[in-house]
Amino acid sequence: MSSMSLFSGIEHINTNTRLENESFTAMFGSITVDLTRQPLAPGDHTISAFAMFGEVTVRVPANIGLHVDGGALMGDTRYEWRTPDNRPLSSAGLTVVEFETSPVRLRITATAILGSVRIVRVVGVQAQEPFAETLPESSESAGLYEGETRRIASL
Domain ranges for the chain, please list them.
3-129
Q: What's residue 88's pLDDT?
A: 87
Q: What's residue 93's pLDDT?
A: 73
Give, for all 155 residues of the chain, the pLDDT tens digit: 789 999 999 999 999 999 999 999 999 999 999 999 999 999 999 999 999 999 999 999 999 999 999 999 999 999 898 888 888 888 777 777 889 999 999 999 999 999 999 999 998 865 444 444 444 555 555 555 455 656 666 55
Q: How far is CA 24 from CA 32, 99, 121, 133, in A?
A: 9, 22, 18, 32
Q: What's residue 130's pLDDT?
A: 43
Q: What amino acid occupies position 101?
A: T
Q: What amino acid occupies position 135?
A: L
109: exposed, middle or buried (C-beta count within 10 Å: 0-12, 13-18, 19+)?
middle
Question: What pTM was computed for the model?
Answer: 0.77
Q: What amino acid occupies position 10?
A: I
With a CB cutoff of 8 Å and minimum separation 6, the contacts of 35 are: 14, 19, 58, 59, 60, 61, 106, 127
